[in-house]
Structure 1
Amino acid sequence: MNKAVFLDRDGVINEVLNHRVKFVNHPNQLFLLEGVPEAIKAFNDTGFKVFVVTNQGGIGLGFMKEVMLGKVHKKLQAEIEKVGGVIDEIAYCPHKPEAGCLCRKPEAKMITDLAKKYQVSLKDSVMVGDREPDIYAGKKAGVHTVFIGKKKDNRAKADVVFPSLLAAAPWIIEESWNK
């Protein structure tokens, strides 16, 4: 069985809701957070599959077309590949926030579907997110959870809190459940 790191996209991998970009609806709005490519490469180098699981309600709301999302994700993968890293697959929920679908986080379907497809051991894997729905999805899937942000914002009670993916990478790689 494989082990995996499931990553939320906006706020974990790339900038969002800041002075430079509000939402990522076009490839030129994608700015990776510091150290993200290196963290993903470190996960690859230590045997983790790396997946992105992201809610993209902007599609359902009409702010973006799936073709454009594909271009955003192609740019994301190219940026990661520049340092030799690989994202094994990107899964997304295109439905509106209140659609009640099973794939939208806090539901765990994106995680569990990827785990089944890639023969991932959920108990040996981790979900990294910056919002409560990410952490709840991870808990429902049975993976370890990492909250990116400040401890006071960890209302979903993730297993650990780090300020960035790069800061979380050593814990994810070295934690005993990974061995």
Structure 2
Amino acid sequence: MTKLIILDRDGVINWEPGGHCARHPDEVRLLEGSAAAIGRLNNAGIKVAVATNQGAIKKGFFDEAMLAAIHRRLLELIAVDGGHIDALFYCPHYNEDQCRCRKPEPGMLHDVAEHFACSLDQVPFVGDDYRDVLAARAVDATPIIVRTGKGEETEQRLKKKSDQDVPVFANLAAVVDQLIGDLI
């Protein structure tokens, strides 16, 4: 059985400058404790995948080469704390494209399952947006929300919908504390 966790990128691992995704490697800033949390997952033998919507490509804010540079910078910063991402998946489309890979659609998560040759049943998927909850549920993964990024807004949305079965944590480090504690 593959031990795996799926993370959204913006608002979970890194800060969103000005309320939007990083558009240049110089804008990549990790949220406090996220790199160390990823390192702890790695040390516990848990594979780490990232699944991120990057509609800014479709909108023309940057191209896929710039996204690759942004991801290289992200990986460099995570490595400073001894962590690494095992696989990174992204959707370059925007809502009106009606693709199967843009969350909340499950296509990108199906790609994660194929890459790791595993079922996503009960695999934790940590996000900050309601679309992450919907995507996780579409593949029987376990949705988890962090209050960083859009998480506080998402937490309020969950409460309004009486959708109380989604655990909410302060940040990625708190999620990892719980997950690793459950493994011990």
Q: Normalising by structure 1, what TM-score?
A: 0.90
The residue type paired with residue 7 of structure 1 is L
> 1:123 offset after TM fit, Å?
2.4
Q: 2:172 aligns with which of 126, 142, 165?
A: 165
Q: 1:66 aligns with which of 64, 67, 76?
A: 64
Q: Structure 2 vs 1, CA of residues 174 and 143 (structure 1 numbering), >3 Å: closer, same or farther?
A: farther
The residue type paired with residue 65 of structure 1 is D
Asked whether the 8 Å contact 1:27–1:72 carries over to 2, the reply is yes
Gaps in structure 2 of 5+ consecutive residues:
none
After superposing on structure 2, the runs of 4+ consecutive aligned residues of structure 1 that deviate more than 6 Å are none
Asked whether the 8 Å contact 1:125–1:144 carries over to 2, the reply is yes
The residue type paired with residue 163 of structure 1 is A
Asked whether the 8 Å contact 1:12–1:33 carries over to 2, the reply is yes
Structure 2 distance, partners of 1:128, 1:63, is: 26
Structure 2 distance, partners of 1:132, 1:103, is: 16
1:141 partnered with 2:145:
no
The residue type paired with residue 94 of structure 1 is P
- Report the counterpart of residue 124 of structure 2 in structure 1: 126
2:114 partner SS: helix
Q: Percent identity?
A: 38
> 1:153 offset after TM fit, Å?
4.1
CA RMSD of aligned residues (A): 1.9
- Report the counterpart of residue 54 of structure 1 in structure 2: 52
Larger CA deviation: 44-53 vs 65-74: 44-53
Structure 2 distance, partners of 1:102, 1:51, is: 18
Asked whether the 8 Å contact 1:4–1:124 carries over to 2, the reply is no
Asked whether the 8 Å contact 2:144–2:166 carries over to 1, the reply is yes
Task: Work out the number of aligned pairs and report it.
Answer: 175
Gaps in structure 1 of 5+ consecutive residues:
none
Cα deviation digits, residues 135-169 of structure 1 (max 9, x gap): 11111111111111234243574620011101111
Q: Normalising by structure 2, what TM-score?
A: 0.87
Asked whether the 8 Å contact 2:122–2:140 carries over to 1, the reply is no
